[in-house]
Structure 1
């Protein structure tokens, strides 16, 4: 059985915080607004991540809920393209697996080497996509993070970070 993602739009509030891109480190960092709320809001099962190259989508191990994005993602590999923020709903995206996801592991998504990154310098908007599907369902899961889902698969990650 192949692991898939499904989107559940139950008016779930996005994780509040700040998404940063550290130019010196070539990486994304997400700082939650309230650290203490993680165990209360997302359970005490720990976290794991979905891996697209070296970019990580943090997930709650117990439920598979996607929380935010972090990780190494060099800007010099991004292609310049004019982008607009896609239409989206606030919602939750869950990674579904056969069993409980082990804490601390990174699950490499299939075909992650085929993903490309497009960046709009005017808006500081980045779209990381596999271009596999026309994406019609987008969900804001955290401040500055929108996930595009089609046919129960993650197809795009839209990021609007603050650059440091």
Structure 2
């Protein structure tokens, strides 16, 4: 235990902090004499227990807290806006992307390139089959939508 005056006052132990600090400083001095602690890395007890960087922060007033919260809520409202929906690429752009990738990997002779080429070939075949299945034949009326109404077409 460090030297210091201890007094037992109504079941409470009171320690003189200055004497404890002096005792700690003595212990550090002895460690320095043994070469275990160097003076360059030594901190005072006050610096250790109450670092100066902790004291440099000011307490915010109630108004500053409310203003900060108000600004954060305005920022979060602007962040809640929905981004533009992603546009699905057309079948034509998908086919051109597949052709571009196939042109890039056609000379490679690796297992990964072969698997990718096979997968892209199967996907493009399936896509063209779906397009053919879902296609509908145009009628003459499809070309004149704006010029005639549905009642006029019924009379033709």
TM class, shorter-length = under 0.3
Higher helix share: 2
Q: Which TM-score applies when normalising by structure 1?
A: 0.14
Q: Which TM-score applies when normalising by structure 2?
A: 0.15
Higher relative contact order (CA 8 A, sep 6+): 1
Higher strand share: 1
